[in-house]
């Protein structure tokens, strides 16, 4: 249903509610919505369900309702609310410069491919602007999709591959068109970890999230005894099989709830990566969003 087709005599708020509820009636599982203006939350609402099916892919009699505390897999929003925040914090601290070569922070990041495309020429800003020349994605976790030397289901091995073996699809440069790439942000995550000596999750937790008293924003939440699967919105019924059409070693076949859905993050990066893996809930996200809207400030906290 188009928003313009809804009854014109209802308020904007009711129009939004009715639009989302109509989508849920048609099968959309659920949604969480926050509306913020000038630092004030005008609307904070959840709709629908966090779990509708059992392990046999049968609709359960009483689907589990979303709540304001329900945590979600943020997928590629990890790039924004973990990696970019960590990146900007390090730049603000003077520990990282965007015009520096990546090799300055990762000494082993060197070498050229047959076309003489060299890692040494890649700059930090190339990663942020998606102009480093990497492919959009590499299926490191699936041996049927990559050469044996690029296969990895271990974070340390994946890091070695990206930093010393993975080639480029095109030249870098300020005049290159941006081509969105998970690899750029996986590598940017490694840069952050090399500089800080922490995982990216530890860095943002200590330097950003704890300052904001965020309790529900983290990587690998099921590794934390405070959380159970029931705290999360489910993402896919049959793991990463795409309804049993895909297979590779160690593939998950169960409904994913509290585990990062992204295959590169889960299998090749142990769930903690610069491109995907972060979880959060509506309240925490409302704060993180305001940090960006307010140019690094939230209430009396400035980064």
pLDDT value for 244: 93
Domains and CATH numbers, the chain: 3-76+213-260+276-302 (no CATH), 91-204 (3.40.710.10)
pLDDT value for 9: 43
DSSP designation for 80:
I
Q: State the pTM of this model.
A: 0.93
**Collapsed DSSP state (helix, strand, coil) of residue 103:** helix
Of 167, 168, 81, 184, which is closest to residue 126 (Cα–Cα)? 184
pLDDT value for 219: 98
Residue 63: left (phi > 0), alpha (psi -120 to 50), or beta?
beta
Cα gap 65→52, rounded to integer Å:
9
The tokens 């708020």 sit on which residue? 13
> Per-residue b/e over 262-274, b at no fewer than 16 CB within 10 Å?
bbbbbbbbbbbbb
pLDDT value for 152: 99
SS3 content of the chain, % helix, strand, coil (to 5): 35, 15, 50
Cα gap 269→79, rounded to integer Å:
14
How far is residue 8 CA from its own chain's centroid? Answer: 37
- Interstrand relation of 30-37 and 71-73 (parallel, antiparallel or unpaired): unpaired
10-residue stretch averages of pLDDT, the chain, 303 residues long: 48 90 95 92 95 86 95 98 98 97 98 85 96 96 98 98 94 83 99 98 98 97 94 95 96 96 99 99 96 87 83
CA distances 41 to 33, 34, 285, Å, are: 11, 7, 12
Q: How buried is residue 212: exposed, middle or buried, by Cβ count under 10 Å (0-12/13-18/19+)?
A: middle
């Amino acid at each position: 249903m188009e928003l313009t087709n809804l009854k014109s005599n209802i308020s904007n708020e009711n129009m939004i509610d009715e639009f989302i509820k109509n989508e849920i009636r048609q099968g959309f599982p659920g949604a969480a919505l926050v509306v913020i203006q000038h630092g004030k939350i005008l609307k904070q609402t959840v709709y629908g369900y966090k779990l509708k099916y059992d392990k046999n892919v049968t609709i359960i009699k009483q689907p589990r309702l979303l709540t304001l505390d329900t945590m979600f897999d943020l997928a590629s929003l990890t790039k924004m609310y973990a990696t970019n925040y960590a990146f900007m914090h390090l730049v603000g601290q003077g520990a990282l410069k965007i015009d520096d070569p990546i090799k300055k922070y990762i000494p082993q990041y060197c070498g050229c491919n047959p076309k003489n495309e060299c890692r040494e020429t890649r700059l930090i800003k190339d990663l942020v602007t998606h102009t480093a020349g990497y492919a959009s994605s590499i299926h490191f976790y699936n041996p049927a999709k990559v050469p044996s030397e690029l296969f990895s289901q271990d974070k340390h091995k994946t890091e070695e591959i990206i930093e010393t073996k993975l080639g480029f699809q095109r030249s870098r440069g300020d005049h290159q068109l941006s081509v969105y790439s998970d690899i750029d942000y996986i590598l940017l995550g490694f840069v952050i970890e090399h500089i800080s000596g922490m995982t990216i999750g530890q860095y943002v937790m200590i330097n950003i999230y704890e300052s904001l008293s965020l309790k529900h924003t983290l990587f690998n939440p099921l590794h934390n005894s405070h959380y159970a699967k029931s705290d999360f919105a489910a993402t896919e019924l049959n793991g990463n099989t795409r309804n049993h059409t895909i297979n590779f070693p160690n593939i998950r076949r169960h409904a994913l709830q509290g585990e990062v859905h992204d295959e590169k993050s889960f299998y090749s990066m142990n769930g903690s990566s610069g491109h995907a893996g972060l979880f959060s809930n509506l309240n925490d996200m409302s704060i993180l969003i305001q940090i960006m809207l307010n140019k690094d400030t939230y209430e009396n906290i400035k980064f």
